[in-house]
Amino acid sequence: MSFYRGQRLMYETIYAQSETATATAILAAGTTLISGELLSFGYRVHDPTNTMPFTSLGDGPATNTSGQTQITITGLTAGDSYDVQAVFAGDTTKNYAGSSAVTEYTVSLDKSSIANVITPSTITTATTVMVESTLTDTTINAAIQNEELTVTLDGTTVGNPTTDASGQVTFSLGPNLAVGNHTLVVAFAGDAEVGASSATSTFTVSSTTTTPPPSSSNTALIIGGVVATGVGLFALLRLV
């Protein structure tokens, strides 16, 4: 968020990990950025009536040459909305009057994604299909462990594996899968900090093939000790 003299406050949605967020304020007089000043911060669960008191967060560091200062807020709940207050007491030595502003923001859930890897690439009814799915927190680019995933094949739930320390699950399908196209969906329902996600993969099963015996257009016939070869079947007769 940005704080300006004249009580104009801008902010962005903040992603929170481990129930922690950082609020950034910018102090300015008109278009002049003000450095070396202290802003005090407070927060509360969003109050539309504006009657609840703020919990003090204390002062942030003195504003830098860009007029900015930051403060860390802990104990937040993803999905909830909060009011953050920034207060400038003023500076009589520089002829700056005091001002304050309040803004609402929402602590968003981290985003997640799932990636499926299916092997082998050629699948028949005799094949056991191996699937490796990886669940990742894409907000902080980290594996998500100890979370249950739901696996469905062609709309039917076939398993609920739990991710390991690397955010992965490995499972098998088949053999004896039906010939044709299949749709695999691996889904994560989300939790208190990370949002839901899913990944859909398709694969095709073909019938089991058998290797026909070798064939040749050349054949041989032995009659009376004479070998005859050629296209088709010929016989050489030797009179004795």
Specify the CATH number for the domain of residue 162. Answer: 2.60.40.1930
Residue 239 has pLDDT above 90, yes or no: no
Q: How confident is the model at residue 231 (pLDDT cuts 50, 70, 90)?
A: very low
Specify if 234 maps to a domain: no
CA–CA gap between residue 90 and residue 101 (Å, rounded) = 13
Q: How many Cα atoms are found within 13 Å in the side-chain-facing hemisphere of 30?
A: 2
What lies within 8 Å, CB to CB, of 87 at 6+ separation is: 39, 40, 41, 42, 98, 99, 100
Tokens of 5: 């003299």
183 CA to centre of own chain: 20
Q: How confident is the model at residue 8 (pLDDT cuts 50, 70, 90)?
A: very low
Supply the DSSP symbol for 147: -
Number of domains within the chain: 2
Mean pLDDT value of segment 157-162: 96
Q: What range does the domain containing 98 cover? A: 2-108
Residue 164 has pLDDT above 50, yes or no: yes
Phi, then psi, of 27 in degrees rounded to 5: -105, 130
Q: How confident is the model at residue 29 (pLDDT cuts 50, 70, 90)?
A: confident
Specify if 225 maps to a domain: no
Residue 110 pLDDT:
85
Q: What percent of the chain has pLDDT over 90?
A: 57
Distances (CA, A) of 50 to 14, 39, 53, 102, 130: 21, 21, 8, 10, 56
In terms of Cα–Cα distance, which of 109, 126, 121 is closest to 204?
Answer: 121
Specify the CATH number for the domain of residue 42. Answer: 2.60.40.10
Does residue 94 share a domain with residue 19? Answer: yes
Residue 79 pLDDT:
77
Residue 203 has pLDDT above 80, yes or no: yes
Residue 225 pLDDT:
43
Find residue 139's DSSP bridge partners.
none
- Who wins on pLDDT, 224 or 161? 161
Residue 19 has pLDDT above 80, yes or no: no
Does residue 97 share a domain with residue 16? Answer: yes
